[in-house]
Structure formats: structure tokens, C-alpha cells
Structure 1
Amino acid sequence: MKLMINHQTHYHYSEPASRSIQYIRMSPQSNQHQYVHSWDVSIPGVNASSKDAFDNVWMTSTQVENYQQLLIMAQGVVEINPDNLFGIASQVPPSIFLQMTETTLCNAEMLNFAQKYVPNVSLEHLKKLAQAVLHVMPYLSESTSVTHSAIQSFNDRQGVCQDHSHVFIAMCKALGVPARYVSGYLYVTDMIHLASHAWAEIWLDGHWHCFDVSNQLFKPSAHIYVAVGRDYWDVAPVRGVRTRGGIETMHSIVQVLPC
């Protein structure tokens, strides 16, 4: 299945910003699951690309001129294998994904919740846990921010794909199962939370297994991989620092269409 992606991120500042550095992870790579026919990330400034510790493409963009508007545009064509059963392979040892982060800490209430559905580790029990997480945390658009931790999201009993992934990852790690956070794009025609997306994957029996909690999808048949990490902060599409700028506002537009 060949998909065309157009991802625009618009920033506005209440006063001129300057001397900014943006770190951008918005570039998918070809692998056993997908083939990148074309891809381009456009952003003003001086740009350089490298790889991060998780083998994600990491672009650095530096600007010295003043600006009050900033547009980052990523677009291209990616062909995925809808029959693929597993997540993409990685040179990073799975044990790295047992590391707790501030965003994926698990408290006693969450661990007790997980143990009810996973008396012993198996794919079927973990799928039941994923179903239970969505049941107690219904998807609610714009209900949280990127600063929410797994504990906060579980306490709120609602969230978006990022929150579902963090909570599920936190519980899996507490159960001793390596779990990673994946950012990317999703193409599904009949669901409300589409396009720019996040999901979890767990390492079991020598493979990474997809756990898209928000959509209850357990194969990456409609997913495009962009970056993997321990949590959102390892794969954030855009992070950066700047001088001045006042109040920042941001909105994004994402389209994922068959071609």
C-alpha cells in the first residue's frame, strides 16, 4: 500500500524570536516494513542530519535571524507492507526498553491493574491489558498535553494515543516486558484519531509486537514508522530552544492519503 503524507507544523510567536535550534524527528526510513519512495523536510535555517542513539533520523536546524512565524513541512511517499506481522527490527538491545523514564513510571495502582489482566506474560494476556487500558481511559481528543506522565494520564482516566502508549508501556516495563514508544503515521479511513500517531510495541519471543491501544490494532498493517524510543521525549517530532519569542502557539495539519 502506497501512501502520500503531508505534515505541516505552524508556529507563531507573540514577539520576535531569534537564535533558535530545532531538533526534528520527522523522517521515516526504509526497512523491512516500509519503503520510502521520496521524503523531504523543509524548514528555514541551516540544517544538518545525523542519527540519534535509537537510530532515528535526527535533523538539527539553526536560525540566527529574527522571526515570528515558522513553518516546518514534511512530505513524501511511503509504501508499506500491510501483511507484515511485526514491528521493525532494531540494533538497540531490547533491555534498553526496560528503563523507566519520568514519563513511564508505574505506581502500585497501575501495577495491580496490569497484574489482573496479565497473570503471566503472553500476547493474549497483554492484548487483554491493552483492551482494559482503553476501556478505563477512553480516547478524548485534546484532553491532555505532551507533559502528561503515565501516572497522571491513568489518574485522569482519559487520554489520546500518546497517553495510552505511555500507560501501557509503563505497565509492561513494571511486568518485566521490554516496551518501546513509536511515533509515525496511521492510515485508517473510518476512525477519528488518524494520521500523526503514536503506539506501543513490546518485545516477546524474539520480535517486536505492535500494540496500538487507541485503535486496538495489533499488527502494523496501516502504520508508517518514523521514530522509536523509550517515551514521547525520545521521539518528539520537534524540540528546540530559542531566544525571546514571547508566547508560542502551534497548530499542525496532517494528511495521509493513498496514492
Structure 2
Amino acid sequence: MILTVAHRTAYRYDAPIRMAVQSLRLTPSEFAGQRLIDWQVAVEGGQKGAGFRDGAGDWIESWSLRGPADRVTVTVVGTVETADLAGLLTGHREAVNPAVYLRETQATRADGQLAELARAAAVETGEPLARAHALSRLVAEAIAYRPGATEAHTTAAEAMALGEGVCQDHAHALIAAARVLGLPARYASGYLFATEDGAAHEAAHAWAEVW
């Protein structure tokens, strides 16, 4: 599938800033299921600096903007070709040891509920990929999708207790539960082409990747 992306992010400040320096992780990764055809990142009025690929395989661009300015606008335009790999990430080159993604964060710290959910998945199957699928299903059952129920800093444990949340909460909960079982997991963000009913999806989306 050929997908065209046009995304603009605007930062507004209460008082003019003298300078802004940003490291932008806005370039899609390339792997067996995704190829970049063209991709451009621009900061209005900004100066592009050096770029590099980090250990996770992400391309990072540095940009600076001299003020005074009360607004910074970042625009991304590009085209990618995707292929359906049934949810499996293959052919992605990175140098980070997967064990790094066993470390918990404040957002993904597992409490008793999340540990219990992880144990339920472990009872179902001992095969790692099947466990990951079981965890994904159990998280979706435990946290009903409800926009506005949570906020940016809601943790996985809080979303589990509430029983409601959005894609970010699903991702955090899946990461936390996977790590309980010793499965490295991490947060991934990007674009969702359409919702389940086929309607165009206009916002960024969140996923969890389990190794």
C-alpha cells in the first residue's frame, strides 16, 4: 500500500523564546514491511543541523530556530510503501540489546493487577509469540477504549484500575505485562491509516512492540 503523510505540529509559547533547539524523531523506520519513497521534515524559519541514526535504528534530525518567536511549526510530508507482515517486525536494523527494554519506567511499572494479567497469559501458553498475542488480547479486554478517559501522564497501573483508556494506555499496559514475563517490550508511535470501521484516522497512534 502507498501512503502519503502530511503532519504539522505547532508549539505556542506564552512569552517569546530567544531560541529553540530540537532533536526530531519524525522519520519512519525502514524494514521488511515499510519502505520510504520520499520524506521531508521542515521547521518554519529554522536551520537544519546534523542528522544521525541512533542505536534503536531511528533517524534523528537536529534543528534550531532563533527568536524571538512565540510559535514553532514543524511540518512533515512524505510517502511510504507498506506491506502486511501480520504484525511481525522483520528486517529492522538496530544495535540496542533487547534486554534494555526489560527496564521499567514510571509509566510502565507493573502493579498487582498487571502482574496477575501477565500470569494469566503465561497459563494459556508457554510459547513467546503466543504469549505476546495472549497479553495483547487480555489488555484489550481489561482496558476499554474510551477517548478522554485518561491523560498524557496516566500510568499503565492507573489505566488498569480505571478499566478505560486509549491506545497509549493499551501500549503501556502491554509493555508492563510483557516485562513481568521477561519479554522485552517498548513503545512505538506512528500513523494509523484508518479505524476499524474504515474511517480515516487523523491522529498519531501508539503501539507496543514485544521481542
What TM-score does the superposition give when structure 2 sets the normalisation length?
A: 0.85
Q: Please tell me whether the aligned partners of residues 41 and 75 of structure 2 are also in contact (alpha carbons under 8 angstroms).
A: yes
**What is the aligned-residue RMSD (CA, Å)?**
2.2
CA shift, 1:34, in A, is 1.2
Matches within 5 A, 1:79-118: 79-83=81-85, 86-88=88-90, 89=92, 90-118=94-122
Q: Please tell me whether the aligned partners of residues 118 and 126 of structure 1 are also in contact (alpha carbons under 8 angstroms).
A: no
Q: 1:176 to 1:98 in 2, by over 3 A?
A: same
**Structure 1: runs of 5+ lacking an equivalent:** 204-259
Q: Please tell me whether the aligned partners of residues 34 and 80 of structure 1 are also in contact (alpha carbons under 8 angstroms).
A: yes
1:198 — aligned with what? 206
Paired amino acid for 1:56: D
1:60 — aligned with what? 62
| Greater than 6 Å deviation, 4+ residue runs | none
Asked if 1:121 is matched to 2:114, the reply is no
- Within the candidate set 181, 186, 192, 1:186 is matched to 192
Matches within 5 A, 1:1-259: 1-43=1-43, 44-48=45-49, 49-83=51-85, 86-88=88-90, 89=92, 90-119=94-123, 120-122=125-127, 123-188=129-194, 190=197, 194=201, 195-203=203-211
Q: 1:161 to 1:53 in 2, by over 3 A?
A: same
CA shift, 1:152, in A, is 2.3
Q: Could you tell which deviates more after superposition, 50-59 or 72-81?
A: 50-59
- Tell me the SS of whatever aligns to 2:107: helix
CA shift, 1:101, in A, is 1.9
Whose relative contact order is higher, 1 or 2, with alpha carbons under 8 Å and at least 6 apart? 1
Size of the aligned set, in residue pairs, is: 203
What TM-score does the superposition give when structure 1 sets the normalisation length?
A: 0.71
Identity of aligned residues (%): 29
> In structure 1, what is the Cα distance between the partners aligned to 2:165 and 2:7?
22
